[in-house]
Amino acid sequence: MGKIMLEVNQLTTKYVTRANEDVYAVDHVSLKIEEGKSLGIAGESGCGKSTLALSLIGYYFPPLHYMSGDIIIDGKNISGLDPDTVRKSVLGTDVAYIPQAAMNALNPTRKVYKFIEDVIHAHGLDMTNKDIYDMAHKRFEEVGLPEEALLKHSVELSGGMRQRVVIAISTILNPKVLIADEPSSALDVTSQKMVIKMMREMMDKGMVKSMIFITHELPLLYNVTDDIMVMYAGQIVEKGTAKQMVFDPVHPYSRGLMRSILVPEAGTRDVKLTAIPGTPPNLKHPPAGCRFADRCKYAVPACKVNAMPIMEFEDNREYRCGHSVQHLREVYEHEDRAE
Amino acid sequence: MKTELNNEAAVKAGPNTEGMNQEQLRQLEEGVSLKIDRNKDFSNAPSVLRGEGVTRIFTTGKTRTVAVDHVNFNFHKGELISIVGESGSGKTTLSKMLLGLLEPSDGTIYFNDQVRDISTGAKKRAYWKGIQAIFQDPFSSYNIFHKIDSVLEDCINLRGGKNLSKQEKYDMMTEACSFVNLKFAELTNKYPFELSGGQMQRLMIARIFLLKPEILLADEPTSMIDACSRATILDMLLKLRDETGMTVIFITHDIGLAYYISDAVYIMEHGKFVEQGPAEKVILEPQAPYTKRLISDVPKIHEPWDLSTVG
């Protein structure tokens, strides 16, 4: 077992709405990532994926508030630090974050290498601008970006190139954890593949020690990350390796997600595509029992009463459901046979 | 922390179905699942929309952009066609020409085997009785000052139901809403922005149900909707096609989705159709290099994803 790069224990954060209501968007989330590993987070929009990312980098500006729990990056507990300290001492070196629309955030009036100078200066490192340029050049070469990109303005670059430049800038200080929130969703499939290839190379070369990859695209997660975690209404409902999650999901919601995958492969046309009826619960007043119970095909009256803790089963897998794993598997097997 | 909670008695008792309507019950029982008849042959079906050498050129100053470059197509009655291409391939320009919102620079479009004539406003309105569209973003598809009632009433009026009594109109609107699993009684007197994205997109389909056009052009109708509710929207579109014999033109960049639902697929690159034919053939035995690249660049589940093909 490798060194643990990121450990999160029972992290809870909330949004406070204008009417002073609490919305727990991240509710007792625990996770662990070892060195050299990547974790994918999947779920439908509004399930708390992006809020989890913001919470992990300590971005606690209203309306987002930290409630409880620990975030430990390589032995250093960063939970509860104020956002300013986090920006100066944690962002960039311990954890780097690529938000959804990162590539549009580059200032169009400045050249790309200037942004790298900014990063170095913000961390108070003693380097001349020449040193910084050489370092940036070397890094760009390593990740397969042309040197010209450094001397251009961001508007002169294509979308895929811009996104790769942003990733290179944010990881210039070799962060221990890279959090990528839908880094490739706005791109064409070919550019997406280039971005993914670059991120994989950075992991392999140790420029980034571990990664959290957030997306709603399951085929992508399956190909990129080692483990997958499914979130629903602010909670983790299932966790396992990518293979286990795609071919043997246990939680009814994960199963629903996995059955909505459409890929251009022989045989997919014969699979029955199913939808999960209904909408997620309103988190202002979360249901007392299982949060998925209202949409669950296998729900029983007790599900609406008893809130379930997340439970371990088999090797390092976890799920949150009132039914036993064996029972769920039997039901699924029966259904598959009926088709 | 291995805890095992098992409500054996409750498990045997079955789901708690208290307070659910018939549709919800049915959905819980069998799930919303798509059943598609794969064995339809459209080669002998009458053609509803046909294009010969359709071209659109945009000029700004000295630059000349050929957005759509001499494309030929033939869409049959009741067929589900997907036009697949990446951003900038010209699929939106083509769809605007099909809808009659843009004039082609060159080429002819035939509607029901007649040369399409949309030279006057009245002729345009007549053409729009035959072709309707659903757009990608349901949030910007509605007039925010119009209530849901008037959105639907406009459709009835357009179909010549102007002189129907209030009750008759109400019944028609209720029927249209129940077709898409919405309750009209709950929607009446509300504005579209009070609905969720999925509900708005379903209301769009309710409009199409009332209008019953011969052709429906759907421009990425599910790309802003979660994957788990995508099947619901697709299911309704397919149901509509089966009931009214409508032709559906699906514009998408999602090749997996196109493969799953369509009868015919057209692959578009730089304003040209580089490949066209039955979905099975185009996706599983692609001939054009562009199609091959597009398919190999999509992450897959059963086949390995080769990252070495990109620079």
Q: Is the residue at A299 inside a domain? A: yes
Name the one residue in this structure whose structure tokens are 């920006």: A87
Whole-angstrom Cα distance, residue A334 to residue B18? 26
Name the one residue in this structure whose structure tokens are 């949030």: B139
Q: Which runs of consecutive H residues, i.e. helices, occur in A48-188? A: 49-56, 83-89, 112-122, 129-142, 159-170
Q: Look at residue B44 in the predicted model and tell me its pLDDT.
A: 84
Q: Is the residue at A172 inside a domain? A: no
Q: What is the CATH number of the domain that holds B211?
A: 3.40.50.300
Q: Look at residue A83 in the predicted model and tell me its pLDDT.
A: 86
Residue B130: closest CA among B292, B245, B234: B245
**Residue A12 buriedness (CB in 10 A; 0-12 / 13-18 / 19+):** middle
Q: Look at residue B28 in the predicted model and tell me its pLDDT.
A: 56
Whole-angstrom Cα distance, residue A174 to residue A178? 9
Are A12 and A27 in contact, with CB atoms under 8 Å apart? yes
Whole-angstrom Cα distance, residue A221 to residue A213? 8
Q: Domain count for chain A, please give it.
A: 1
Q: Is the residue at B40 inside a domain? A: no
Q: Is the residue at A304 inside a domain? A: yes
Q: Look at residue B7 in the predicted model and tell me its pLDDT.
A: 45
Q: Look at residue A1 in the predicted model and tell me its pLDDT.
A: 67
Please report how many Cα atoms fall inside a 13 Å half-sphere around the Cα of residue A118, on the Cβ side: 10
Whole-angstrom Cα distance, residue B54 to residue B43? 22
Closest approach of chain B CAs to the CA of A78, in angstroms?
26
Q: Look at residue B148 in the predicted model and tell me its pLDDT.
A: 92
Please report how many Cα atoms fall inside a 13 Å half-sphere around the Cα of residue A133, on the Cβ side: 10
- Token readout for B238 is 């397919």
Q: Look at residue B20 in the predicted model and tell me its pLDDT.
A: 53
Query: What are φ and ψ of residue A9, in 5° steps?
Result: -120, 115
CA distances from A175 to A94, A133, A184, A233 (A): 5, 19, 20, 29
Q: Is the residue at B242 inside a domain? A: yes
Q: Does residue B26 register a pLDDT over 70?
A: no
Q: Look at residue B13 in the predicted model and tell me its pLDDT.
A: 45
Residues 68-97 of A with CB under 8 A from B: none
B23 pLDDT band, cuts 50/70/90, is low
**Residue A337 buriedness (CB in 10 A; 0-12 / 13-18 / 19+):** exposed
State whether A297 and B280 contact (CB < 8 Å).
no
B82 CB neighbours in chain A (<8 A) are none
Mean pLDDT of B64-76: 94
Angle CA B181–B177–B180, to nearest 5: 35
Whole-angstrom Cα distance, residue A267 to residue B302? 10
Residues 121-160 of A with CB under 8 A from B: 144
Q: Look at residue A241 in the predicted model and tell me its pLDDT.
A: 95
Q: Look at residue B115 in the predicted model and tell me its pLDDT.
A: 94
Whole-angstrom Cα distance, residue B286 to residue B280? 10
Mean pLDDT of B63-78: 93
Q: Is the residue at A321 inside a domain? A: yes
- Chain B contact for A308, CB < 8 A? yes
Angle CA A269–B282–B264, to nearest 5: 70
Domain range for A300 is: 250-338
B301 CB neighbours in chain A (<8 A) are 219, 222, 246, 261, 263, 265
Whole-angstrom Cα distance, residue A20 to residue A30? 27
Q: Is the residue at A297 inside a domain? A: yes
Q: Which residue has the higher pLDDT, A105 or B172?
A: B172
Whole-angstrom Cα distance, residue A99 to residue A213? 11
Q: Look at residue A337 in the predicted model and tell me its pLDDT.
A: 86
Q: Is the residue at A121 inside a domain? A: no
Cα torsion through B291, B296, B297, B302, rounded to 10: 140
Q: Is the residue at B13 inside a domain? A: no
- Chain B contact for A248, CB < 8 A? no
Q: Is the residue at B12 inside a domain? A: no
State whether A261 and B33 contact (CB < 8 Å).
no
A144 CB neighbours in chain B (<8 A) are 311
Q: Is the residue at A140 inside a domain? A: no
Mean pLDDT of B36-53: 85
- CA nearest A247 in B: which residue? B301
B3 pLDDT band, cuts 50/70/90, is very low
Q: Is the residue at A198 inside a domain? A: no
Mean pLDDT of B163-183: 89
Q: Does residue B227 register a pLDDT over 60?
A: yes
- In a 3-state reduction of DSSP, which class is residue A181? strand
Domain range for B187 is: 45-305
- What type of residue sits at position A56? L
**Interface A-B: count of C-beta contacts within 8 A:** 169
Q: Which residue has the higher pLDDT, B31 or A67?
A: A67
Of B196, B284, B298, the CB nearest to A279: B196
**Residue B189 buriedness (CB in 10 A; 0-12 / 13-18 / 19+):** exposed
Q: Is the residue at B86 inside a domain? A: yes
What is the pTM for the complete model shown? Answer: 0.86
State whether B300 and A193 contact (CB < 8 Å).
no
A293 CB neighbours in chain B (<8 A) are 16
B9 pLDDT band, cuts 50/70/90, is very low
Q: Look at residue B2 in the predicted model and tell me its pLDDT.
A: 37
Q: Look at residue A274 in the predicted model and tell me its pLDDT.
A: 80
Mean pLDDT by 10 residues, chain A (339 residues): 90 92 92 94 89 92 92 90 86 90 87 92 89 94 91 90 92 94 87 92 92 92 94 94 94 91 85 80 89 88 88 91 92 86
B229-272 confidence digits (pLDDT tens): 788 888 888 888 888 889 999 999 889 999 999 999 999 999 99
CA distances from A327 to A313, B69, B110 (A): 13, 58, 58
Q: Domain count for chain B, please give it.
A: 1
Are A51 and A17 in contact, with CB atoms under 8 Å apart? no
